Amino acid sequence: MSTQISIEDAALMLGVSPQHARSLCRKQALRAERIGSTWVVDAESVQRYQQEAEQRIAQDHPAYFETSANTDKPVALSFFSGAMGLDLGH
């Protein structure tokens, strides 16, 4: 049997508010049971949710995207290159 923790402890582990942790329980993103007006959360499901969230964040990081050396994107933009501008083009 896995360890049961309070909603406050689950929120602390996830770095979210207790309200958000309760919302995750209602959405069944966390394995939890409501006893009266109190949520009891499975600690393993909190750890699993945290790992999955970290993987999603890491996959959104630009380092995970393949970039090509030959892109058609501009290297720099100049907004002051008109009359009396201070930019020097190369």
Q: Residue 11: CA atoms inside 13 Å, Cβ hemisphere, count? A: 13
Beta strands in 1-90 (DSSP E): 4-6, 32-35, 38-42
Domain boundaries, the chain: 4-63
- Express each pLDDT in 42-70 by its tens digit: 999 999 999 888 877 666 666 555 555 55
Q: How far apart are CA 45 and CA 89, in angstroms?
A: 56
Q: How far apart are CA 1 and CA 55, in angstroms?
A: 27
- DSSP string for 70-85: S--S-S---SS-STT-
Say whether pLDDT at 85 is over 70.
no
Secondary structure (3-state) at 41: strand
Greater confidence, 19 or 55? 19
Give the pLDDT of residue 81: 66
